[in-house]
Amino acid sequence: MALMLVVGLFACPLPREEFHMRALKNDHVIRGSVVFKNVTKIENGSHGAVKVIYSIKVDESYKGDIEQGSTVDVSTTSSERLCGLRLEANPEESLILGFNQSKSGYSISKASLLRDVDQVTDAEDRLLAEYKLQKEHPLMSR
């Protein structure tokens, strides 16, 4: 089952960066599945903006301090014009997801690393293995 991004006519332009560049720019890179989706209207947001929070069950952590087996909430806007990312809650579908961390929590956008696990190439799989090795043995990367 492929993960699809729906892009509107006036949508945020998708960055044309390769997998490794997106992984490098994200604070965290994990393999997991979306287990819950919560949509909330932002009271003080402009034009009735809506915040979407996805709960991600972490099957494997490649980069960052998120633990394998944990569940992490990542947020995005529902507006594609503001680079919001649409995912569907499906515990059976596994994906590679990169996201950033700020004072307000974890966030994703169309600039985040996103790949259906079934579409990961051998080169991308090797890159993820390198990240995991660096995470498990930080002194080896220095």
Angstrom distance (rounded) from CA 54 to CA 75: 6
What domains sit in the chain, N to C, each tagged with a CATH number?
Answer: 19-136 (2.40.50.120)
Angstrom distance (rounded) from CA 122 to CA 46: 43
pTM: 0.80
What does the block give as tokens for 49? 């903006």
Check: CB of residue 91 under 8 Å from CB of residue 35. Answer: yes
Q: Which of 3-12, 46-55, 79-88, 128-137 has the highest mean pLDDT?
A: 128-137
Q: CA torsion angle for 134, 129, 21, 3 (degrees, to 10)?
A: -140
pLDDT of residue 68: 93
57-78: pLDDT as tens digits: 999 999 999 999 999 999 998 8
What is the residue-averaged pLDDT of the chain? 83
Share of the chain above pLDDT 70, in %: 82
Averaged pLDDT for residues 28-38: 94
CA distances (Å), origin 80, targets 29, 84, 92, 106: 22, 5, 25, 18
pLDDT of residue 102: 87
